[in-house]
């Protein structure tokens, strides 16, 4: 299901629905906002793909690929949140970072999703400095372990 309801008053960054004075059924608006917050607070995604998974688990989040299909059509680059058997979509904001579990690394949003490239261990050269190579290899391992760089 794609955007079955449109909220007329929303927050500026993530379009969380606002309550109106004397609004009936406030729980609907509040639950919608809480579902979006649940997916965006300390965000992580299972991975990035163009097609929605067939059987997503409750609470799974995905980055929608550049050529979305199915329920994700029209949401390229957005974050798809599976909540209450329904897809909610969040438009990423400048500077947002998200952990991609499939890649084992952090993606950063800067007009599009940016990812660090894998780094190879040092090698080659006519003079080998074993201590420097060991230090660089340990640094690369630490950055991979922190999710900053993907595994090579």
| Domain map (residue ranges) of the chain | 1-94, 116-145
E strands of 3-142, at which residues? Answer: 44-45, 48-49, 61-64, 79-83, 86-90, 97-100, 105-109, 113-115
Q: Tokens for 80?
A: 């798809």
Picking from 75, 118, 81, 111, the residue whose alpha carbon sits closest to that of residue 95 is: 111
pLDDT in tens, 92-122: 988 899 999 998 888 999 999 998 888 888 8
Model pTM greater than 0.85? Answer: no
Give residue 15's pLDDT: 65
Give residue 11's pLDDT: 67
| 36 contact partners, CB below 8 Å, separation of at least 6 | 14, 15, 16, 81, 83, 88, 90
pLDDT in tens, 14-72: 666 666 666 677 776 677 777 777 667 778 899 999 999 999 998 899 999 999 999 99
Give residue 2's pLDDT: 47
């Amino acid at each position: 299901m794609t955007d079955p309801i449109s909220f007329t008053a929303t927050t500026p960054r993530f379009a969380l629905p606002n309550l109106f004075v004397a609004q009936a059924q406030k729980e609907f608006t509040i639950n919608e906002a809480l579902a979006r917050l649940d997916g965006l607070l300390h965000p992580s995604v299972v991975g990035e793909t163009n097609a929605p998974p067939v059987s997503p688990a409750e609470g799974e989040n995905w980055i929608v690929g550049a050529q979305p299909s199915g329920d994700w059509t029209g949401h390229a680059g957005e974050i798809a949140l599976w909540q209450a058997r329904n897809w909610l979509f969040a438009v990423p904001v400048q500077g947002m970072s998200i952990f991609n579990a499939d890649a084992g690394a952090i993606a950063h949003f800067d007009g599009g999703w940016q990812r660090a490239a894998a780094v190879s261990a040092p090698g080659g050269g006519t003079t080998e400095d074993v201590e420097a190579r060991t230090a660089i290899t340990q640094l690369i391992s630490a950055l991979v372990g922190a999710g900053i760089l993907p595994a090579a």
